[in-house]
Amino acid sequence: MHLDLTGRTALVTGSTQGIGLAIAVDLARAGARVAVNGRTAERVDAAVARVRDESGGEVVGVAADVTADDGTAALAAELPGVDVLVNNLGVFGAQEALTITDDDWRRYFEVNVLTAARLIRTYLPGMRDRGWGRIQNIASDSAVVIPAEMIHYGVSKTALLALSRGFAKEAAGSGVTVNSVIAGPTHTAGVEDFVYQLVDPALPWDEAQREFMRAHRPQSLIQRLIEPEEIAHMVTYLASPLATTGAAVRVDGGYVDSILP
């Protein structure tokens, strides 16, 4: 399958590391002009260099805190129009349910849900005017299987699925697709830290990963963490002219025990 995004501009939020960085590389390899986004110029510059080196593609960097109105405005001023928007930015972390404060709940909702809504409001009108666009929100298996150790995160990702479906209706018939990608437990630096919150920190990584999957994600059919590139391949497909719309597409290694998508 040849996925050609030549001539398209793609913005990936939170793309200085992890899943976002892998998505940026994969989109650039498909021919897109990719905008890497993060909060600090230093991290953005380093990520731009890495994406350019690994893809050989056209890459630009925009340092802006898109969790705030002024940061989003600064981003839009520097990048007024995009063809592909990937809302990847998010926060997560383990916390006992009864210790999650109102401020914690607000932070997770504001970062994981409202940031995506704000960016969709910013870029969807231009996509609709041009008759083509791709919007993707990176969700999580935690949206469907709420983890006991971080229900605030799970609930925010459930809301993100609903946000995606709602904006798909807003974009209906316009040539713009809106989808969410349900990422399963994925191997990133942040997840390594999370894993070591739940298993013996003295364990070597390979053993720690196996223990985490055995104890906390036993329903995974691949019985390992997903690599970020596996998520990126689905995102690139959904950014292509072949994309569906209004879908919640799973890349979860069979973690969600369901025969439905």
* CA–CA gap between residue 238 and residue 244 (Å, rounded): 7
Beta bridge pairs of residue 122: none
Catalytic hit among 108, 123, 153, 255: 153
DSSP string over 95-136: --GGG--HHHHHHHHIIIIIHHHHHHHHHHHHHHHHT-EEEE
Sheet holding 176-183, edge to edge: 59-63, 33-38, 9-12, 84-87, 133-140, 176-183, 248-251
* Residue 17: closest CA among 192, 156, 144: 192
* CA–CA gap between residue 242 and residue 77 (Å, rounded): 30
Pair of tokens at residue 215 = 């104890």
Is 245 in contact with 171 (CB distance < 8 Å)?
A: yes
153 is catalytic: yes
* CA–CA gap between residue 111 and residue 18 (Å, rounded): 17
Q: Which residue has the tokens 């231009």?
A: 126
Please report, to the nearest 10 degrees, the dihedral formed by the alpha carbons of residues 4, 80, 69, 178 taken in order.
-30
Name the burial class of residue 23, with classes exposed (0-12), middle (13-18) and buried (19+) by CB atoms within 10 angstroms of its CB: buried
Catalytic residues: 153
